[in-house]
Amino acid sequence: MRSKSCLEKLYVGRRLSARQIARLTDVSRSVVLEALDRFGIPRNGNGRRHPGQLPFGYEYLGYRLVENKTEQGVVRQIRQYRIGGLSLRQIAGQLNQRLIPTKNNGIWQATTVKGILVRA
């Protein structure tokens, strides 16, 4: 996060959240937030905010929660695995084995799968 103009284009111009910028630039969210402060870019520039952590299967677009088609496909697959009789741990194992990334590019856990199924 060395370029103010690049960060402004992403944060102000494209209205990406700090988390989205972090994923895009392969840095942590705290690094993005520090860069916003360092460059004097006001957070939530026009007073609007993203309302918190993104649920799996969705993304923010223009400060609105919209479905992420790729992640929605994974949600459908999780439901199919569960209908097929797999345990939450087995589903997480299948997703890890297929190298499907979590929302934060981590490792799938049974609790993550459970949360997705509860929301779905």
pLDDT in tens, 47-88: 555 566 788 998 887 767 899 999 999 999 999 999 999 999
Distance CA 90, CA 80 (A): 12
d(CA 119, CA 106): 20
Q: Indicate the domain borders of the chain.
A: 4-49, 68-119
Q: Is the pTM of this model over 0.75?
A: no
Q: What is the pLDDT of residue 104?
A: 81
DSSP E strands in the chain: the ranges are 58-61, 64-67
CB-count exposure of residue 96 (10 Å: 0-12, 13-18, 19+): middle
The whole-angstrom separation of Cα 84 and Cα 80 is 6
Both tokens of 25, joined, read 């630039």
Q: How far apart are CA 10 and CA 43, in angstroms?
A: 12
Write out pLDDT tens, residues 11-61: 877 778 888 888 889 999 899 989 988 888 877 655 555 566 788 998 887
